[in-house]
Every structure is written in structure tokens, then in C-alpha cells.
Amino acid sequence: MKRLAILASGSGSNAEKIMEYFQSSKTVEVALVASNKADAFVLERARKFNVPTFTFSRKEMDAGLLQAKLDEEKIDWVILAGFLLKIPVELTRAFPDRMVNIHPALLPKYGGKGMYGMHVHEAVKAAGEKETGITIHLVNENYDEGRIVFQASTTVEPEDSPEDIAQKIHKLEHEHFPRVIEELVEA
């Protein structure tokens, strides 16, 4: 059984879709949901699925506390689902090619520090893009630069607001992220 840890900083809709997807799996288990925010709604979503939770500060993560918890829980794969802190290099090295992130744009466009959530959708709209999408990639020591494993796109209509774009992106994320994780983990 492969054990996943999901790291998230906010609401956790992607985390919920992942927990739902794997709840009856015989080969993959969501073993931990961890957040850098004690009030993140993702922790409530995890409780609904009886998944253990863990919270930590940036300072504790940088000091190795998160890595120690992942080791203690015998985590095989780390999934970033709306996790807003930069992962320490030591942690990326502890999970080589076993740490996955989802980004709400077609990388390499609209990636990097500060490019998350509505910031991305506002930038896509401001640039007049005709297409945007999601990128699922492996995590390395640089923001949004790991090897891309999957992309899916959607059109951006001239009348679409950043909120409309966000809805289209969430649909793609929920449709593809759990399945792509399964393909990676079981490869």
C-alpha cells in the first residue's frame, strides 16, 4: 500500500477530491493531511474522511519537523494541493520524483513565486490569453520548474472574469489530479 501525504494551505477542494478518489483503493492510501495553517478548512475535510492531520509553522518545516513527521508516518508520496510555502531543498531531496504539485496555469507561463490562486487567473485575463489550464509536475528546489507530467487546457473567452477562469480551472483540477496521482504512484 502506497501512503500519500497531502500538503495544503487553504480550503482543500483538491485534497477532498483526492481523499474521495482513494478512499476505497486497495493500493493507495491518503495517510496524512498536513497544513501550515491551523485554521485551514482542508483539516476539516480530512476529518470527514478520518484522515489524520498535522499542522506546522514555516519555521518548524524549515527545521525539519515536517520531514520527521512524513518519515514517522512512512509516507511514500507527497502531494501539494494548494500548498503556498516553498518546500525546503532537503525535503525535495527526501522525496525525489515522489513529490507532485498542481499549478493553475499551463507552465512555464504564469509560474514562480507569488503566482498562485487568483493571482494566476488575474494575470491570464490581463494578458488576454485565449487558453489556460492546469499543470501537474514533479517538485524540485525551484518554484514550478519540476518535470511536467500532465497538462490539460481550457479556453478563455473574452467575457470571462478571473472568477470564471478559476471555475474552469477547478473543474480541470478535480477531473484530472487524482487520476494522474494514481498513474504516477502505481507506475
More confident residue, 3 or 114: 3
Catalytic residue among 103, 121, 137, 176: 103
Q: How confident is the model at residue 42 (pLDDT cuts 50, 70, 90)?
A: very high
Average pLDDT score, the chain: 96
Neighbouring C-beta atoms of residue 73, cutoff 10 Å: 15
Task: Give the structural domain span for 49.
Answer: 2-185
Radius of gyration of the chain (CA): 16
- 3-class secondary structure, 88: coil
The CATH number of residue 105's host domain is 3.40.50.170
Is residue 170 annotated as part of the catalytic site, yes or no?
A: no
The span from the CA of 22 to the CA of 25, in Å, is 5
Q: Please write the tens of the pLDDT for every residue from 52-79.
A: 999 999 999 999 999 999 999 999 999 9
Q: Using omega within 30 degrees of 0 as the cis cutoff, is the peptide bond preceding 108 cis?
A: yes
How far is Cα 152 from Cα 136, in angstroms, rounded to an integer? 9
- State residue 90's pLDDT score: 94
What are 34's strand-pairing partners?
A: 7, 54
What is the value of pTM for the model shown?
A: 0.95
Q: At what angle do helices 162-185 and 117-126 cross, to 10 degrees?
A: 120
| pLDDT, tens digit, 9 for 90 and up, residues 144-165 | 999 999 999 999 999 999 999 9
Domain count, the chain: 1
